[in-house]
Structure 1
Amino acid sequence: MVRTPLTPEERERGEQLGRLLRAARGERSMTEVAAVAGVSAETLRKIETGRAPTPAFFTVAALAGALGLSMDDLVGRCEPAAAA
């Protein structure tokens, strides 16, 4: 199966999500937050660096819960600049 290339807006949204998660993680280690969320540290690293710009919903929900973020807030803050 061939995956459709991501649009610039999808890439921007993924990068914004990564920045938000990294900021929310603060001084906590990637390993600690990933363990609480039930995902691998490598998955969290890829999301934070924008290498995984479209993570699964349940992965984002688990990370949001581990970081004390609301999904509504994440959605609102990950709007592409053109849409805001």
Structure 2
Amino acid sequence: MVRPPLTPEQLAAGKRLGAYLRQARGERKPTEVAHAAAISPETLRKIETGRMATPAFTTIAALAQVLDVPLDQLAHVCLTPMDLSKTA
């Protein structure tokens, strides 16, 4: 099964998510955060730079827990204003 290419909106959401997680990490070392979340430092680097635009839910849940960020906050970071208006 071939995965369809990501849309520009999905790529933009991945960049927003990565930037938010990078900011939430603050001064903590990437290796420390990656180890605590049970992911590789390279995976964390790819997420933070937007090169991995659609990481697995379990990866994001682990990062949210390690960084003490509510999952619903991460969802809002990824959603566009149009997406948010659909849920209201």
Shared fold per TM-score greater than 0.5: yes
Q: Which residue of 2 aligns with 1:70?
A: 70
* Local SS of the residue matching 1:38: coil
Partners of 2:25 and 2:62 lie apart in 1 by 13
Report how many residues are paired. Answer: 84
Where does 1:30-69 land on structure 2 (aligned, <5 Å)?
30-69=30-69
Q: Which residue of 2 aligns with 1:9?
A: 9
Query: Which amino acid in structure 2 is aligned with residue 79 of structure 1?
Result: L
TM-score by length of 1: 0.93
Structure 1 unaligned regions, length at least 5 = none
Structure whose CA Rg is larger: 2
TM-score by length of 2: 0.89
Partners of 1:82 and 1:22 lie apart in 2 by 25
The CA RMSD over aligned residues, in Å, is 1.2
Post-superposition Cα deviations, 1:51-77, rounded to whole Å, max 9, x if no partner, equal 100000000000010000010011012
In the alignment, is the contact (CA less than 8 A) between 1:12 and 1:80 conserved in 2?
no
Partners of 1:50 and 1:70 lie apart in 2 by 20
Structure 2 unaligned regions, length at least 5 = none
Question: Hey, which of these two has a bigger chunk of helix by percent?
Answer: 2
Query: Which amino acid in structure 2 is aligned with residue 10 of structure 1?
Result: Q
